[in-house]
């Protein structure tokens, strides 16, 4: 082996080893190196193939000619928005903003080139690359270069980084695929914002492209706090550019840093800061005819480079990086095929492309709408194919019930769950969609009292009517014939979910403002599969009928599990010892929750590789008090005693307001009424006592319910 080969292989052995080290750092927001190292860990024989390709590219790069056509390279782009029930379903305007930033950065049109220090100001390159959203899909149909897929398991930190790519991908030889997700697994920790695939790796072309978080796409909408440069950085990787600190200081410039001589070698990522330091002293060493070294003295680190980590001061690519990118376009078909003139016509991105008379494709922003009675909701859509000339909205339960505006505002005065329909038409045709159960309007006054709320999930009809399962269509929360000291509870088949999956279930509305010192309790049964499981149960609350949520308690897998043993087989609790109680005293509950007239609770479970999880006996307990200092009446209430009972039960009704159509009854766990205490009567304010004969009822769990026009209250009864 000659010295050149030895140097190249030695260099890239160092670089590849550095991938693993970078993956362990919490400061690294780019996951490209770590994703590549994970691939090599799973496919160890392909590391040598990659090394050989890196060597080949380095040897042949000097013979590659730059683009002489004076025409920009045009890249057809498609954004695949992988959202989670609407979360992360970013707008086209936000995607357009990301395209704007890409085109500015790759064409030296960014307004912040003025921040580049004088030592590098003559090294700002116009890459002459333009990104355009595709106007034709792989089948030749109209598109706006955006797809939208509801796939929570692929959008929320899947353990398989490439999971979003298996949901949807377009021909990588025709389009640059960019997958937009809510979060990205960081492996050993950190905060990964995006990652890419080098064109030189032996990985499948089907995974070539960029995965990026929704809040890093552009600088508007959900990315209003971002600088928009994460995508610029990751696309640079797609075009075969390395980090400026990739090979650290090295020896000569062509074998240091990013292997480009007009980007001075850099020892590390400078802790993501604009730290104008000089971490390497070999800046003047090396250089070749095709990779010239412009420096005659030692210079500071080029923190302004897009391929570094200096957040807030990135503003340039260099001529040397441009030469490397064009060499990659001439070396890798997955890059060059995209820019072919025939492909530009087929994707609708060629100069002079005239958009077809497209049939509209209707898409409503898919995040469910939650609000309280009397609230106004503004509806928007992501429809495309145009021009979009006619809108026909239909709002069941809303005022107005119809609208022809593009973005109407609708008032909902009555609690309930409502559908929304949208039809859009133009000269090319029409398209429509019905969003079933799209609007959730909650009660302004809670249906249940926080003084006596209890649900042991014994009543199937009550569970179906009261609890809102935020459905994904796959292994959602469900009622099951397993409970603690009862026959039923709710469960999540977590053992068959994918790492990163999120499942939610929401309680009925509960009134707490007239309850003194309410406390909250529930019971959980959960088992881990291994010590590395990172599952988490989150208890949250809403005081605006589900429009926004705040945290009460987050329970990690290590605390959630009832013991420290593990089971890889699907877990089903067998006895009371496998249940763990959680009791949250009043002083630990947020004040705005305790003062709410209508509160919701939400159990959110995040899969971290663990086993099934079960919940039972959700309860809020407190003492009814006056509503205010002006003598407003107290709410009606009731109590039962003794409990547990044997042959006789006392039921005491404390009626403070007229109770119209009042009923009091006892039902079994199947929901069947077994005793009538009060049958549809009007009860005036007073204290009522009833003795109920329980003889003939089998031992077990029952429910005592008081129901009137004011609402319904239920208490658990145990008969011995």
Tell me how far apart the 2 most distant CA atoms of the chain are, in Å: 102
- CB burial of residue 519 (10 Å; 0-12, 13-18, 19+): middle
Measure Cα distances from 221 to 95, 151, 228, 485 in Å.
Answer: 10, 21, 12, 49
234 is a catalytic site residue: yes
Enter the tokens of residue 713: 């209250």
DSSP notation for 483-543: -SSSS-EEEE-GGGS-TT-EEEEEPPPEE-TTEEEEEEEEEEEE-BSSTT---EEEEEEES
Between CA 243 and CA 249 the distance in angstroms is: 12
Query: In sequence order, which residues have a C-beta less than 8 Å from that of residue 325 and are 6 or more positions away?
Result: 127, 129, 236, 239, 240, 241
Between CA 697 and CA 674 the distance in angstroms is: 8
Enter the DSSP assignment of 231.
H
Between CA 303 and CA 664 the distance in angstroms is: 74
Catalytic residue among 234, 304, 523, 536: 234
Strands 73-83 and 146-150: parallel
Cβ atoms of 649 and 691 within 8 Å: the answer is yes
Measure Cα distances from 30 to 15, 163, 197, 249 in Å.
Answer: 16, 18, 12, 20
Print the SS3 string covering 589-635. CCHHHHCCCCEEEEEEEECCCCCCEEEEEEEEEEEECCCCCCCCCCC
Measure Cα distances from 555 to 187, 448, 582, 606, 629 in Å.
Answer: 21, 26, 10, 10, 38
Beta bridge partners of 390: 425
Enter the tokens of residue 112: 């912040």
Look at residues 74, 94, 104 and name the one whose alpha carbon lies nearest to residue 146.
94
Look at residues 671, 641, 643, 645 and name the one whose alpha carbon lies nearest to residue 653.
641
Enter the DSSP assignment of 238.
H
CA 461 from chain centre, in angstroms, equals 32
CA 336 from chain centre, in angstroms, equals 33
DSSP notation for 175-196: -EEEEEESB---SSSS---EEE
Enter the tokens of residue 660: 């119209």
- What are φ and ψ of residue 28, in 5° steps? -90, 115
DSSP notation for 69-129: SSS-EEEEEEEEEEEBTTBT---HHHHHHHHHHHHHHHTT--GGGGGS-TTTGGG-----E
Query: In sequence order, which residues have a C-beta less than 8 Å from that of residue 622 and are 6 or more positions away?
Result: 450, 451, 512, 515, 516, 517, 518, 519, 586
**End-to-end C-alpha distance for the chain, whole angstroms:** 87
Between CA 627 and CA 635 the distance in angstroms is: 8
Beta bridge partners of 149: 82
Between CA 33 and CA 16 the distance in angstroms is: 8
The tokens 């973005």 sit on which residue? 407
Q: What angle do CA 117, 119, 121 make, to 5 degrees?
A: 65
Which sequence positions are flagged as catalytic?
234
């Amino acid at each position: 082996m000659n010295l050149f080969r030895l140097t190249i292989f030695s260099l890239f052995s160092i670089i590849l080893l550095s991938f693993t080290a970078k993956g362990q750092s919490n400061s690294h927001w780019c996951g490209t190196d770590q994703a590549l190292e994970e691939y090599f860990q799973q496919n160890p024989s392909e590391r040598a193939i990659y090394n050989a390709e890196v060597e080949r590219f380095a040897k042949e790069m000097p013979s590659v000619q730059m683009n002489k056509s004076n025409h920009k390279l045009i890249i057809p782009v498609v954004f695949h928005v992988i959202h989670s029930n609407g979360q992360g379903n970013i707008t086209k305007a936000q995607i357009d903003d990301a395209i704007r930033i890409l085109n500015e950065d790759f064409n030296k049109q960014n307004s912040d080139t003025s921040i580049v220090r004088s030592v590098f100001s003559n090294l700002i390159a116009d890459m002459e690359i333009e990104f355009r959203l595709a106007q034709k899909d792989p089948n030749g149909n109209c598109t706006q270069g955006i797809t939208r897929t509801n796939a929570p398991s692929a959008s929320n930190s899947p353990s398989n980084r490439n999971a979003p790519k298996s949901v949807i991908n377009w021909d990588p030889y025709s389009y640059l695929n960019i997958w937009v997700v809510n979060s990205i697994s960081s492996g050993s920790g950190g905060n990964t914002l995006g990652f890419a695939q080098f064109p030189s790796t032996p990985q499948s072309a089907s995974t070539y492209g960029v995965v990026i978080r929704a809040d890093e796409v552009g600088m508007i909408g959900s990315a209003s706090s971002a600088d928009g440069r994460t995508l610029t950085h990751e696309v640079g990787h797609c075009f075969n550019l390395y980090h400026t600190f990739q090979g650290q200081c090295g020896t000569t410039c062509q074998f240091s840093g990013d292997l480009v001589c007009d980007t001075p070698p850099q020892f590390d990522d400078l802790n993501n800061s604009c730290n104008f330091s000089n971490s390497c002293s070999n800046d003047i060493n090396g250089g070749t005819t095709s990779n010239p070294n412009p420096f005659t003295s030692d210079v500071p680190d080029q923190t302004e480079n897009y391929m570094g980590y200096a957040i807030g001061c990135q503003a340039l690519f260099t001529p040397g990086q441009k030469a490397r990118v064009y060499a990659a376009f001439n070396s890798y078909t997955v890059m060059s095929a995209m820019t072919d003139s025939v492909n530009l016509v087929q994707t609708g991105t060629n100069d002079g492309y005239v958009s077809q008379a497209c049939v509209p494709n209707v898409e409503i922003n898919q995040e469910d709408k939650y609000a309280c009675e009397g609230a106004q909701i503004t509806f928007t859509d992501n429809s495309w194919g145009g021009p979009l000339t006619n809108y026909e909205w239909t709002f069941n339960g809303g005022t107005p019930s119809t609208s022809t505006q593009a973005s109407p505002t609708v008032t909902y005065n009555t609690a309930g769950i409502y559908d929304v329909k949208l039809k859009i038409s133009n000269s090319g045709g029409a398209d429509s969609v019905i969003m079933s159960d799209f609007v959730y309007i909650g009660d302004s006054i809670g249906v249940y009292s926080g003084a006596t709320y209890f649900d042991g999930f014994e009543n199937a009809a009550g569970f179906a009517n009261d609890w809102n399962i935020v459905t994904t269509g796959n292994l959602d929360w469900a009622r099951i014939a397993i409970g603690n000291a009862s026959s039923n509870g709710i469960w999540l088949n977590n053992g068959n979910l994918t790492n990163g999956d999120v499942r939610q279930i929401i309680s009925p509305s509960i009134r707490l403002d007239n309850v003194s010192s309410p406390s909250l309790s529930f019971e959980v049964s959960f088992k881990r599969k291994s010590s590395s499981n990172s599952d988490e149960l989150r208890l949250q609350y809403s005081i605006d009928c589900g429009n926004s949520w705040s945290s009460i308690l987050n329970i990690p897998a290590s605390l959630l599990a009832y013991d420290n043993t593990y089971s890889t087989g699907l877990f089903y609790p067998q006895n009371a010892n496998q249940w763990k109680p959680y009791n949250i005293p009043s002083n630990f509950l947020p004040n705005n929750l305790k003062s709410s007239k209508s509160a919701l609770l939400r159990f959110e479970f995040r899969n971290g590789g663990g086993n099934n999880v079960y919940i039972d006996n959700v309860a809020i307990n407190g003492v009814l008090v006056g509503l205010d200092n002006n003598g407003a009446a107290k709410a009606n209430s009731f109590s039962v005693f003794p409990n547990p009972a044997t042959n006789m039960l006392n039921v005491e009704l404390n009626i403070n307001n007229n109770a119209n159509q009042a009923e009091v009854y006892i039902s079994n766990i199947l929901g069947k009424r077994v005793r009538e205490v009060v049958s549809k009567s009007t009860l005036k304010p007073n204290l009522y006592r009833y003795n109920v004969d329980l003889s003939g009822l089998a031992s077990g769990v029952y429910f005592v319910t008081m129901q009137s026009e004011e609402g319904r209250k239920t208490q658990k009864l145990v008969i011995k």
